[in-house]
Amino acid sequence: MSWLVYAFLATAIYSLQIVLQRGTAVESSNPRVTAFIFSSFAILITALIVITKGTYQAGFPTDPLAWLVLAFGATTYGLFERHRFKAAKLLEVSVFDTILNFGVVIAFFGGAILYHEPLTLETLSGGLLIITSLFIVSYQKKQAITIPLKNIIFGVLVSTALGLGWLVDKMGATYFNSEMYGLLVWFFPLPLIAYPSITLRDFKNEPKTVWCETLLLATLNALAYYAMLEALRLAGTQSDSTENFSQCTWGNWGLSISVRSRYHSAHWHYRLLCHYQLFSTLHLYHCH
């Protein structure tokens, strides 16, 4: 399959997972425990992919830079996974979904520095529109209630960690391979998620429904991440890979529009936000 097919496949699965994880986060008694269970399930699923495809036989790279890339990716993804369910618990789907797209901006501008990509006017304006959408989504007209600023900041920090992880995914998938790199960046963050400690009692306190839902979420996330790594590996050039990010965001926002329409159909500013985000995506989509 072409990288474009993998990109849209990742988009569809990621979007579904983002919508579903809110309910799991709310039910969870300890978001960090949920994150540990989530990552553990993802490791098992990714390991099955590695074994099935036999990519473990390819060995490991000898270039020290490959391991630096892996260390950076594992750290940033570890920070994201450690806090993602807490952020999903603090923020509604429509809000957290919007904030997560700040990671796309990080990937774009970080890619311009890391890969010496030129910044065009369209890229700058698209990034500005995404950042502006963060301010729009922080206001709820109903009863003039505003989302706590600390929750917004927390969501932005979580999204930043995700964007930094995205930034080195193409390099990681090239140095290793899509399957093995995916397995390693799921495995190595586990100590960071567990720190300072998670007890057996913590796992027992998690509702059984959370365990089942987390298995589903981990399956979706592992498959989507593998598809994204394949898209980045097959893209061939950095311009293709950054375009992949914008297309994934486009699809994600497309689904989130229907989510917002369901929960906030009576509020004009949510409908305005949907069109505003789509416009900013088109800027990023056409910049390459």
Query: Do 137 and 94 meet the contact criterion of CB atoms below 8 Å apart?
Result: yes
pLDDT in tens, 81-116: 999 999 999 988 878 877 887 887 888 788 778 877
pLDDT in tens, 194-212: 988 898 899 988 988 899 9
pLDDT at 154: 95
Dihedral angle, C-alpha 166, 195, 17, 187, nearest 10 °: 60
In whole angstroms, give the CA distance from residue 273 to residue 37. 34
In whole angstroms, give the CA distance from residue 202 to residue 128. 42
In whole angstroms, give the CA distance from residue 81 to residue 162. 9
In whole angstroms, give the CA distance from residue 44 to residue 40. 6
Query: Do 189 and 78 meet the contact criterion of CB atoms below 8 Å apart?
Result: yes
Q: What is the pTM of this model?
A: 0.76
10 confidence band (pLDDT: 50, 70, 90): confident
Q: Where are the domains of the chain?
A: 3-286
For 119: left if phi > 0, alpha if psi spans -120 to 50, otherwise beta; the answer is: beta
In whole angstroms, give the CA distance from residue 106 to residue 211. 32
**Strand ranges inside 128-281, DSSP E:** none
pLDDT at 178: 84
Taking all residues of the chain, what is their mean pLDDT, rounded to a whole number? 77
The more confident residue out of 78 and 226 is 78
Beta-bridge partner residues of 139: 146
Beta-bridge partner residues of 177: none
